Amino acid sequence: MAQLTLDELRKKRKEAQKGIYLREGKYKSKIIVHMGTCGIAVGAREIVTAFLEEIEILTEKDVILTTSGCAGLCSMEPMATVELLNSPSVKYGNLTTDKARRIFKEHILGGNIVTDYAIGIGSEKGG
Amino acid sequence: MAVRRIELMLCTGTGCVAGGAFRISEALEKEIQKQGLEKEISVIITGCNGFCGHGPLMLVQPDGIFYGFLTPEDIPFLVQEHFLKGRPVKKLMFSPPEKKEPVPLLSEIPFFKKQLLIVLRNRGIIDPEKIDEYIARDGFTALEKVLTSMTPDDVINEITRSGLRGRGGAGFPTGTKWKICRAEQKMPKYIICNCDEGDPGAFMDRSVFESDPLSAMEGMIIGGYAIGASHGYIYARSEYPLAIKRMNLSISSAKDYGLMGKNILGTDFSFDLEIRQGSGAFVCGEETSLILSIEGRGPEPIQRPPFPAQSGIWGCPTVINNVETWATIPVIINRGADWFSKIGTETSKGTKIFSLVGKINNAGLIEVPMGITLKEIVYDIGGGIPDNKKFKAVQTGGPSGGCIPYSMIDIPIDFESLIEAGSMMGSGGMIVMDEDTCMVDVAKFFIQFTNDESCGKCTTCRDGSEALHKVLTDITNGDGKEVDLEFLEEVGNAIKDASACGLGTTLPNPVLSTLKYFRDEYEAHIKERRCPALVCKNLIKYYILPEKCTGCKLCLKNCPPGAIKGELKHIHIIDQSKCTKCGTCLDVCPPKVSAIIKVSGKEMENITGIEEPYPVKRKGGKNET
Ligand SMILES: Cc1cc2nc3c(=O)[nH]c(=O)nc-3n(C[C@H](O)[C@H](O)[C@H](O)COP(=O)(O)O)c2cc1C
Ligand code: SF4
Ligand code: SF4
Ligand code: FES
């Protein structure tokens, strides 16, 4: 490893911060994937993977992904709730990985609710 | 690094490792694999989280949920329930004794709420073996700032203005020490980090090096720049293998990055670090003695002045500071003296780490702002005394600190208040004592320790501590005389006045402070041959209450020397001539029966233990007498 210059150290810091962002409690949006037995049976885990892959390619890591139990609407699984800072949470149902990626781009990054898949707004504060 | 959705911050400080933390990490890895979650979840090994009494433990991020008292058997269920299905597991969370509902979030647990983390800013957040994680948490930004925009004098002024005082015991102003050293003409100069930590039960310094080794090292590099030194030593206790391993790793990775060694960050400032292991003697922690030990000579305190800042290692100007002092430096540089000096009291700025141990519900390592009251520490953070016992005293300042009684529980914790109370800050040991603690016995214990550790150079310290110990032993044995109390005070004060180093000048504190606040206990031992806390073996007897004994034979079977006479359904009798006062019988007698008691003083007179067992007579569940 070559010795770092000042600029290289600063660059390294920016890079390294991405590695620990989950621990600092600083994030702008949160995705909650419902992982009841019913959700898992119809593909909730693939939804998690799809979201994670989207987060992976972000340069500014400010999205976290968590899971919660069954949301009580088993017929709509797989489901996810999206919470942007200071706005009501939005629940999406009947997800596929493609739908998840679209929600990620349009709602999480773009700030626009994807009304096509939304099944409820501000109903539950999941988590 | 690939992103994860969950990070499990698993404590691998010494306490949790002793409790099996590595078995927990194995179990976690195994179950995570089994559930196919390895791309989603990672286990991060951290240093001591502070809540050692609840280990092995971990923090789940980003949720912030705390799990304690983990066993490998809990892990499969935990992984499936929480990490897969998203249902946090209540039974592994922290439950306050008085409430039924657990507290899921670490940030809501009272133990953590009143703490303020400056020195321990990265504890439980970074993997101490990865320099990148330290860097991510603003590591080396202070060094950057110093090297690019501050002169050595600027650095010293900033530290002086911050009001920082040494955390190793004496509380000497750090900036002043640096200034004295910088003014010396002689070269080279040296930096030392004192990580000898000889106080029994203390683990503040160990914890800093186990959880965030680079914070103290960055402080040392900055100190080197400020005084004009290019070489530093960390003097570490050899009993700290994990801390030393992490020091070594940190030094080599910092060197790889050019953050240590020649021409740091391309400037013309160079600084190297070396680790020296201590011999384990308590007096090695004293600065002049420590310096002799680094030079390869026998540790023995030498008269100051000259102070090490003027003449230290090999007669060269040397700044020696405690681990905590060093780890505070980068934060002061980053956030400024004004910010730092707003925390704490008029004369004691910033925060202090304490190891809170003894008769306390939440034992562990805490960092609190100076000026916090003893009450807040014991009750809010420490969660009070277990088993509803009465709080008696807190011993602060290590083996030569003093005992502060319950009546002074509102005392603010700062350098001056503690000295006024007859104790001291020391390096931050805090031992909580309840009603079952005998204060004479406590004084004897600490004098025994300092007497063993005296280097023997000063007559007052060596022979004086011996004399104190002998008298205290007499008193606890029931052979005390009334003149003893005056003698203890006289000798204590003489040792204080005439010893060369801090060990001698402080060692009478435990005696003098207990004499001041608990004189009645001394008097009971001497005048009534009574130990009020029922601790001193020569002054107590174990006795089986005939009206309660059911004749179950449990105590008889468990008594190591076979001192109990009895038969099934007969009142048992303790043969006092054989009893070694081990207390086993009291522990095994069923709580519902509680037939065994301890007595002291006058009550002992009629207990001889020469009668023979006789049958238990009872009607309607009650004994007839
Ligand atoms: C007997 C004795 C033992 C000491 N042990 C330690 C110790 O273990 N760690 C420590 O930092 N200072 C210890 N000190 C204090 C040091 O002499 C010295 O004051 C301190 O390291 C200076 O650093 P500071 O200004 O940052 O507190 C001890 C002092 C005495 C008299
Ligand atoms: S005071 Fe005690 S420990 Fe210190 S130099 Fe004198 S004899 Fe040694
Ligand atoms: S105190 Fe120990 S030795 Fe004495 S009677 Fe009880 S068990 Fe036996
Ligand atoms: S060692 Fe784990 S909390 Fe202290």
pLDDT tens digits for B29-87? 999 999 999 989 999 999 999 999 998 999 999 889 999 999 999 999 999 999 998 88
So what CATH class is B351-434? alpha beta
Residue B612's pLDDT band (boundaries 50, 70, 90)?
confident
As a residue count, chain A comes to 127
**B305 preceded by a cis bond (ω within 30 of 0):** yes
Section B569-582 average pLDDT: 93
A7 alpha carbon, distance to own chain's centre: 32
pLDDT over 90, % of chain B: 82
- Which residue did the predictor score with more confidence, B279 or B366? B366
Section B391-395 average pLDDT: 95
- Chain A residues at the B interface, defined by Cβ less than 8 Å, are 1-6, 9-10, 12-13, 15-20, 22-25, 27, 32-37, 40, 48-49, 52, 55-56, 61, 64-69, 127
Q: Any idea which residue has 């976290």 for tokens?
A: A64
pLDDT at residue B111 tops 80: yes
pLDDT of residue B100: 75
Query: With a 6 A CB cut-off, is B184 part of the ligand 1 pocket?
Result: no
Residue A126 lies in a domain: no
pLDDT of residue B116: 95
Query: With a 6 A CB cut-off, is B500 part of the ligand 2 pocket?
Result: yes
CATH of domain B6-107: 3.40.30.10
Residue B618's pLDDT band (boundaries 50, 70, 90)?
low
Residue A1's pLDDT band (boundaries 50, 70, 90)?
low
Section B443-451 average pLDDT: 94
The answer to whether residues B461 and B454 touch, using CB atoms and an 8 Å cutoff, is yes
Section B88-93 average pLDDT: 94
The answer to whether residues B371 and B348 touch, using CB atoms and an 8 Å cutoff, is yes
Lowest mean pLDDT among B153-167, B272-286, B529-543: B272-286
CA nearest A47: which of A73, A16, A20, A68?
A68
So what CATH class is B131-341? alpha beta
Contact A22 B7 (CB under 8 A): yes
pLDDT of residue B161: 97
Section B369-386 average pLDDT: 94
Each domain of chain B, given as residue ranges in start order, spans 6-107, 131-341, 351-434, 439-527, 540-621
Section B124-137 average pLDDT: 94
pLDDT of residue B99: 72
CA nearest B505: which of B164, B169, B168?
B169
Task: State the pairing for strand pair B231-236/B190-195.
Answer: parallel
pLDDT at residue B537 tops 50: yes
Residue B239's pLDDT band (boundaries 50, 70, 90)?
confident
Contact A9 B135 (CB under 8 A): yes
Residue A3 lies in a domain: no
pLDDT at residue B624 tops 50: no
Please give the CATH topology (third level) of the domain spanning B439-527: de novo design (two linked rop proteins) (1.20.1440)
Q: Any idea which residue has 């079977």 for tokens?
A: B557
What is the extent of the structural domain holding A54? 24-121
The strands making up B6-11's β-sheet, listed across from edge to edge, are B41-46, B6-11, B58-61, B65-67
Residue A127's pLDDT band (boundaries 50, 70, 90)?
very low
CATH architecture of the domain with range B540-621 = 2-Layer Sandwich (3.30)
Residues of B in contact with A68 (CB under 8 A): 86-87
pLDDT of residue B608: 78
Section B465-471 average pLDDT: 95
**B306 preceded by a cis bond (ω within 30 of 0):** yes
Residue B575's pLDDT band (boundaries 50, 70, 90)?
very high
pLDDT at residue B297 tops 70: yes
pLDDT of residue B623: 46
The chain-wide mean pLDDT, for chain B, equals 92
| Rounded-to-integer distance, Cα B38 and Cα B31, Å | 9
The answer to whether residues B180 and B304 touch, using CB atoms and an 8 Å cutoff, is no
Structural domain tally of chain A?
1
pLDDT over 90, % of chain A: 31
| Rounded-to-integer distance, Cα B462 and Cα B451, Å | 7
Q: Which parts of B362-478 fold into alpha helices (H)?
A: 374-375, 415-420, 439-453, 459-477
Residue A76's pLDDT band (boundaries 50, 70, 90)?
confident
pLDDT of residue A27: 83
Q: Can you read off the two tokens belonging to residue B166? A: 């040494």
What is the pTM for the complete model shown? Answer: 0.90
CB-closest option in A2, A12, A48 to B132: A12
CA nearest A74: which of A39, A43, A33?
A39
**CA diameter of chain B:** 93
The chain-wide mean pLDDT, for chain A, equals 85
How far does residue B455's CA lie from ligand 2's centre (Å)?
Answer: 5
pLDDT of residue B616: 85
Residue A11 lies in a domain: no
Query: With a 6 A CB cut-off, is B197 part of the ligand 1 pocket?
Result: yes
Residue A19 lies in a domain: no
Contact A52 B5 (CB under 8 A): yes
Mutate to test the pocket of ligand 4, among B8, B10, B11, B209 (most ligand atoms within 8 A of CB): B11
Q: Domain with A93 in it: what CATH number?
A: 3.40.30.10
pLDDT of residue B625: 42
